């Protein structure tokens, strides 16, 4: 028979659910499973925050509602991050955004436009 695990977290941490908690300290965010730290990142690193919370959801460690409550984030932002994680994996949060290039009017195109 499995043994029940008490939700024991370090002092000063905030519970996400019965198994996960996080702590902000000295500009760093550390995530805990019980008393064991499982991940850490800079407090201002939004891409890594979205990646790790999406990973928690996809792996079944936390629900989207628990993530929204614990961090005070909008549910649609969590859903978008989870979609990105499922489609591109962790690397999807760090690759440059796809942008369009500026249109350039070449002399040939300008001449054709003036003739019309």
- C-beta atoms surrounding 14 within 10 Å: 13
Higher-scoring residue by pLDDT: 41, 104? 41
pLDDT tens digits, one per residue of 5-47: 666 788 889 999 999 999 999 999 999 998 899 999 999 999 9
pLDDT at residue 99 is higher than 90: no
Quote the pLDDT of residue 20: 94
Which pairing describes strands 36-42 and 20-25: parallel, antiparallel, or unpaired?
unpaired
| Domain regions of the chain by residue span | 14-95
Rounded distance between C-alpha atoms, residue 22 and residue 88, angstroms:
25
pLDDT tens digits, one per residue of 64-93: 999 999 999 999 999 999 999 999 999 999
Quote the pLDDT of residue 6: 63
Confidence of residue 101 (pLDDT cuts 50, 70, 90): confident
Phi, psi of 21 (to 5 degrees): -150, 165
pTM of the model as a whole? 0.77
Rounded distance between C-alpha atoms, residue 66 and residue 85, angstroms:
18
C-alpha distances out from residue 33 to 16, 53, 69, 106, Å:
10, 13, 18, 59
Quote the pLDDT of residue 16: 94
Alpha helices in 1-116 (DSSP H): 46-58, 64-71, 75-88, 107-115
pLDDT at residue 98 is higher than 90: no
């Amino acid at each position: 028979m499995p043994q029940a695990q008490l939700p024991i977290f370090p002092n000063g941490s905030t519970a996400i659910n019965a198994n996960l908690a996080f702590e902000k300290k000295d500009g760093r965010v550390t995530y805990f499973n019980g008393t064991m730290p499982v991940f850490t990142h800079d407090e201002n690193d939004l891409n890594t925050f979205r990646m790790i919370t999406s990973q928690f959801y996809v792996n079944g460690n936390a629900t989207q509602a628990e993530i929204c409550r614990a961090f005070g984030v909008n549910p649609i932002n969590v859903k978008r991050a989870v979609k990105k994680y499922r489609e591109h994996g962790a690397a999807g949060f760090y690759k440059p955004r796809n942008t369009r290039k500026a249109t350039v009017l070449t002399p040939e195109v300008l001449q054709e436009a003036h003739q019309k």
